[in-house]
Amino acid sequence: MRILITGTGGLLGSNLALEAASDHTVFGVDRSCPQKTTAFTPVMADLLDPGVVERILDDTQPDWVIHCAAQANVDACEHNPENARELNTELPRKLAHHVARGGARLLYVSTDAVFDGQKGEYTETDSPNPVNVYAQTKLDGENAVLDASSNAIVARINIFGWSPSGKRSLAEFFFNNLEVGNQIKGFTDVFFCPVLVNDIADLFYQMLDKGLSGLYHVVSSESISKYDFGVAIARRFGFDPDLITPISVTQSGLRAVRSPNLTLRVDKLIHDLGVVPPGLSPAIERFYTLYQQGYPQMLRTLCLD
């Protein structure tokens, strides 16, 4: 297959491209990270520029398009909601329209944050209730994509893993600080279902290959608090878990409101795909093994200075 992946300078896009490169022809688009790799074909472009989406689709002729590029900084979205809407809603709308017209399949990456987190255990039939600009613009992006293409996939996710910058996931935040002995904080009252980015790559490609369409929750089959997640990282790497101070998210001083309980159900994915997403222990073990294999260092060579 010919696969076009947007946002390959980021956590998800870079890992998706590398995971697919051995079996597929991959094109990776990024606007801010000049990339040097032989694993896939880098395309340096700003998808917001007029005519760029159409040109790249014509040039690459993809069978599958995975749209990862987004403004994912929650507080930055609060500061500049117009930019967030352009990147998280209008760009997916435009991309979905042109992908559908060309006959390719689109997978749009969304977020668990579309829910307000008041009850948890959300299914795809539960009504979203975004609590910040980021979540609202991503939800609007979901609706725009599904309106434009009946065979598109919308995947709500929460991921962790190694990134080219070394700073893009919660796991890296814990690792980077614990490694040097910094005292940090972990939220005891924020729950999520994080899936390792390398594992989600496997799930995405199986979903596309099987011809699934519509809305899916693609997260871990288990949930955990962010504090306990940090402790699990600390213990696997042999760091001191007492460096993590348990606190409430209400004490954080974060600019944007956060949803406290973003546990999602994956029954629909299990039924339609026939695969159970990995639990937390094997995911953290694979995260550790990748570190031992030098994977983070390899990722950091992707983006040129």
DSSP 113: G
Structure tokens at 85: 């809407």
**Model pLDDT for residues 171-182, shown as the tens digit of each residue:** 999 999 999 999
Any domain includes 231: no
Any domain includes 32: yes
Any domain includes 255: no
In this prediction, residue 24 carries a pLDDT of: 96
Predicted TM-score (pTM) of the model is 0.95
Any domain includes 96: yes
Any domain includes 98: yes
DSSP 296: H
Any domain includes 246: no
- Answer whether 194's CB lies under 8 Å from 219's CB: yes
Structure tokens at 181: 């002995």
**Model pLDDT for residues 142-188, shown as the tens digit of each residue:** 999 999 999 999 999 999 999 999 998 999 999 999 999 999 999 99
In this prediction, residue 255 carries a pLDDT of: 67
Structure tokens at 283: 């995911």
How many angstroms separate the CA atoms of 69 and 23, rounded?
23
How many angstroms separate the CA atoms of 102 and 81, rounded?
31
In this prediction, residue 305 carries a pLDDT of: 54
In this prediction, residue 251 carries a pLDDT of: 80
Half-sphere exposure of 118 (CA within 13 A, CB side): 7
Tell me the CA distances in angstroms from 175 to 44, 140, 161, one per residue in order. Answer: 30, 33, 11
How many angstroms separate the CA atoms of 187 and 168, rounded?
18
In this prediction, residue 259 carries a pLDDT of: 84
Name the stretches of the chain with pLDDT < 70: 255-256, 304-305
- Residue 148 φ then ψ, to 5°: -85, -25
How many angstroms separate the CA atoms of 113 and 128, rounded?
9
In this prediction, residue 6 carries a pLDDT of: 98
Catalytic residues, by residue number, are: 134
In this prediction, residue 138 carries a pLDDT of: 98
Any domain includes 24: yes
How many angstroms separate the CA atoms of 82 and 105, rounded?
28
Per DSSP, the three-state class of 218 is coil
How many angstroms separate the CA atoms of 71 and 215, rounded?
21
In this prediction, residue 35 carries a pLDDT of: 83
How many angstroms separate the CA atoms of 235 and 257, rounded?
30
Domain count, the chain: 1
Residue identified by tokens 């989406």 is 53
Any domain includes 242: no
How many angstroms separate the CA atoms of 156 and 74, rounded?
16
Domain residues for 114? 2-168+192-223+263-287+294-300
In this prediction, residue 27 carries a pLDDT of: 97
Q: Within 10 A of 255 (CB to CB), how many other CB atoms are there?
A: 12
- Answer whether 98's CB lies under 8 Å from 60's CB: no
Task: Identify the helix (H) or strand (E) that includes residue 225.
Answer: strand 224-225
- Answer whether 34's CB lies under 8 Å from 89's CB: no
CATH number at residue 196: 3.40.50.720
In this prediction, residue 36 carries a pLDDT of: 85
